[in-house]
Structure 1
């Protein structure tokens, strides 16, 4: 299994433009919540919890994040729990509200992602490696931590592999 640095470094290679990273701060949370909403049906309430395919996907994802890093795993588990709560709230609504919210968030999230990759001038990481789909949310959490001055050792290791973030200027067509 790849290490935390391997995963974040590989993902970061596709995300060095600050504008692309900024779009990921919006797009990825929208997509995560959308998936939680869409996978919250079918479901059933047991022990005060809404058990659904979303809960299973979140549990497996959280276990993967914990295996990569305990601190990031804890943050991701909390964020996944919040997404499950939102998903369960929409699953309790009528089909139109549930499906409209889930699909709407999903489509808007991906549009924002592709705008970011336009700035990056590079395709999304998951095109070359599907693990990019599970690393994306972790990357956003890690980048937020870096902005707050946390986990400097991880930030330096990721930048050693991927290079520093920058803003790429589009070359004017001659």
Structure 2
């Protein structure tokens, strides 16, 4: 992301990530998000999987279409992450998925709110629900920047 450009001149993904980053600058909050956001995505997929695996695939496909329009490189990363999550869900005993995912979901959201307390800013999705989908891209963006992968 080129931070020298005004937000209006950036690609939509850059603008969304820039706005999301505004409330995720504290290193502890960023670390918490890098742990809790993937956990939340996994647990949401797990709860949907427990209803029907095809529903989980449909949710992933829908999100990937949105991500592809934002950034094909980030969409590819999300595809790899989703494939890993769905593979793990397929290998878990069905009776464990719902209770484990529900517990981890609650703990991960508690972590998110602790991170925002440390940050001193409210979660971005309170202003725009799209940020519930941008959170995973933020985490992937952190990984891409550390690996020097452009997106």
- Is the Cα contact below 8 Å between 2:50 and 2:98 reproduced in 1? no
Please name the residue that 2:20 is paired with: 11
Please name the residue that 1:104 is paired with: 103
The one of 39, 46, 54 equivalent to 2:48 is 39
- Is the Cα contact below 8 Å between 2:40 and 2:105 reproduced in 1? yes
**RMSD over aligned Cα, in angstroms?**
1.6
CA distance in 2 between counterparts of 1:121 and 1:61 reads 29
Aligned length: 141
Please name the residue that 1:135 is paired with: 134
Please name the residue that 2:70 is paired with: 68
Radius of gyration: which is bigger? 1
- The normalised TM-score by structure 2 is 0.86
1:62 to partner: Cα distance: 0.8
List runs of 5+ in structure 1 lacking aligned partners: 44-50, 155-174
List runs of 5+ in structure 2 lacking aligned partners: 1-10
Query: Deviation per CA, 1:112-142, whole angstroms, max 9, x where unpaired?
Result: 1111111110111111110111000010000
1:41 to partner: Cα distance: 2.6
The one of 83, 86, 110 equivalent to 2:85 is 83
- Is the Cα contact below 8 Å between 1:34 and 1:105 reproduced in 2? yes
- Is the Cα contact below 8 Å between 2:17 and 2:134 reproduced in 1? yes
Please name the residue that 1:172 is paired with: none
CA distance in 1 between counterparts of 2:67 and 2:119 reads 26
- The normalised TM-score by structure 1 is 0.75
